[in-house]
Each structure stands twice: as C-alpha cells, then as structure tokens.
Amino acid sequence: MSATHHEPASTRSKRSPILVTGATGKVGRHVISELLRMGIAVRALTRNPGAANLPEGVELVRGDLSDPATFEASLQGVERVFLLWPLLTAEAAPGVVGALAKHARRIVYLSSFGVRDELEVQADPITSFHAAIERQIERSGLEWTFLRPGGFASNTLWWAPQIRAEGVVRWPFAAAARSLIHERDIAAVAVRALTSDGHQGAKYVLTGPQAVTQAEQVRLIGEAIGRPARFEEIPPEIMRQQLVAFMPPSVVDGILDYHARCVKEPEQVSRTVEEVTGAPAHTFGEWAIDHAADFR
C-alpha cells in the first residue's frame, strides 16, 4: 500500500491545492492571502500570469473562463474551488461547471444577493447569470456553498477621482442607506466554506454590519484620509446622462431606481459574516481606513 493510503483525508486535502478564480481581483486576493496564512496550497487562475502580482508560493495557471477547455486544464489534482464569474453571460458556464463536476468535490460560488429563489426570471442581466450558474451547480452533484453578497464597499472607489481632486462627491441620493460589505469579509466566509465542514448547501446572504447613507460614506472616507470630504446631491437625471455614455440605459435605470428605493428603505443587514467567521463584519469606516491610499 502506498504512503498516500495511510494519510488522513484532511492531510491529502491540505496538500491538494485550492483553485482560486478571480484570483487577481478584489475578493480573490483576500481569499488567497487567508489560505496561505492557513498553510494551504493555492493555485490561482488568471488570463495573464505575468501581470498577476500574487504572493510568492502561489501556483499560477493561465486560463480563461470563457474557454472551458483552458479552465479544465487548471483543475488537475484539485478538490476544492472558489469560483467567481467575471463574464456578463452564463454562456460558458455549462462547460465550466461540467469540468468542475469531473474533477472537483467542493465549490464555493460568489453569487449576488439580488438572486431570488422564488423567481423563474430574475430582475436584471447580472442576477440572471448568477441564478443560471447557481442552478447548474445545484444539478452538478458537487458539494456547494453560494455566497450572495450585497454591494461591495469597493464600488465607492468610483468616487476616488472626485475626492482626490476636490473633496466633493457630486452624486444623487445622499440619503440612500446601503449595507456595503468589505471584500475581506466575503473572502473570510469563502475560506471557511472551502476549508471547514457544515456549509454545504448554504446560500449565505452577506452584507456589512449596518446601513450607512451615501453622504455618511463620503464623510467617513474624508475621516480616513484626514481631509474633509462631502456629498453634494445632484439630480438623478444628470447622473443618468453621464452613465449612459458607458453603460446600457436599462442597467443605469436599474442602478438609479435601486438607490431611490434605498432612500425610503435602508438596505437589509445580515449577521452571516459574524455567524460564520466568529468576527463581526467590518464597518464602512474600517473599509475606508484600509483603502485610504486609494482616495489620497
């Protein structure tokens, strides 16, 4: 009998690398640093290994999720996968999920809190592709956990040029209250689901610890950078004209309608980050301190 047969399953799992997709992105980088801290081998999928700039010790593999054959090649010897879908349609998903079912055992999929289980047709193109991929994973026979985060705090990096230039953010809906989440907390839940048992079949809605108005978010960024920053409300129509230059009008209208609703009804807050990790989710103020350099 070979030495491998005497090894406990936990030791084998520890040696088999975890494949991280979206490895060079906002969530993936935190997933990787946490896995490395735990001494777990990491294989990172990227379209451009030369530009990945990931920590030493990470095994880089070139692959593209829109080309499932290149993805399948990255799965040799892999049991657990963090899957993120950076594409705008689910066209390539059957090939990717099929390859996962052939090689892997456990998958943690980064979805979105907009997905509604009770709807046959989702509200917008983004939740549509997430829902379609969730359904394919559910049917695949894999052990799965779905992470359904709300808006990322990092979406406010959009304001960085205005804050750097003038310390003023001209934007609609000052009073829209959102429970934005630190990308580090999404990663912390992902790592628990990848490395410990008891998360199989869970659909975790993940948010920050409180709903904070957009005006207050800007003030907290100012506090983090040590320079006042303020919100100056502009009419939604002006914002719409700016955004339709580079986004489909239906997506722009969806974003603006959603923020109008958050003025009347602050976004929900979930306690799942704390329940899963044992540590409270980071506040928006803490996120701003972590990202102060991006706004200076």
Q: How far apart are the first and last CA of the chain?
A: 61
Query: What is the smallest separation between the CB atom of 12 and ligand NAP, expressed in angstroms?
Result: 27
Distance CA 171, CA 180 (A): 17
Q: How far is CA 7 from the centre of its chain?
A: 34
Residue nearest to ligand NAP (CB): 25
Contact 220, 285 (CB under 8 A): yes
Cβ distance to ligand NAP smaller for residue 152 or 227: 152
Distance CA 91, CA 126 (A): 13
User: Pattern of binders to ligand NAP over 218-247, x per CB under 6 A?
Assistant: ------------------------------
Among the residue ranges 23-31, 100-108, 220-228, 264-272, the one whose residues contact ligand NAP (CB under 6 A) = 23-31
Distance CA 147, CA 74 (A): 23
Which residues is 213 bridged to in the sheet?
177
- Establish if 203 lies at the interface with ligand NAP (CB under 6 A): no
Cβ distance to ligand NAP smaller for residue 13 or 277: 277
- Establish if 23 lies at the interface with ligand NAP (CB under 6 A): yes
Which residue of 7, 11, 12, 48 would you call a contact of ligand NAP, by CB under 6 A? 48
Sign of the torsion angle spanned by Cα atoms 112, 284, 20, 78 = negative
User: Pattern of binders to ligand NAP over 50-79, x per CB under 6 A?
Assistant: --x-----------xxx-------------
Among the residue ranges 1-9, 42-50, 218-226, 264-272, the one whose residues contact ligand NAP (CB under 6 A) = 42-50
Which residue of 75, 84, 93, 194 would you call a contact of ligand NAP, by CB under 6 A? 84
Query: What is the smallest separation between the CB atom of 36 and ligand NAP, expressed in angstroms?
Result: 17
Among the residue ranges 22-30, 231-239, 265-273, 279-287, the one whose residues contact ligand NAP (CB under 6 A) = 22-30
Q: How far is CA 47 from the centre of its chain?
A: 18
Q: Which of residues 150-179 bind ligand NAP (CB under 6 A)?
A: 151-152, 155
Sign of the torsion angle spanned by Cα atoms 9, 15, 18, 19 = negative
- CA distance to 30, 103, 225, 234, 271, per residue, from 163 (Å): 26, 47, 10, 16, 31
Q: How many other C-beta atoms can be found within 10 angstroms of the C-beta atom of residue 18?
A: 26
Contacts with ligand NAP by CB under 6 A lie at 21-28, 45-48, 52, 64-66, 84-87, 110, 112, 126, 149, 151-152, 155
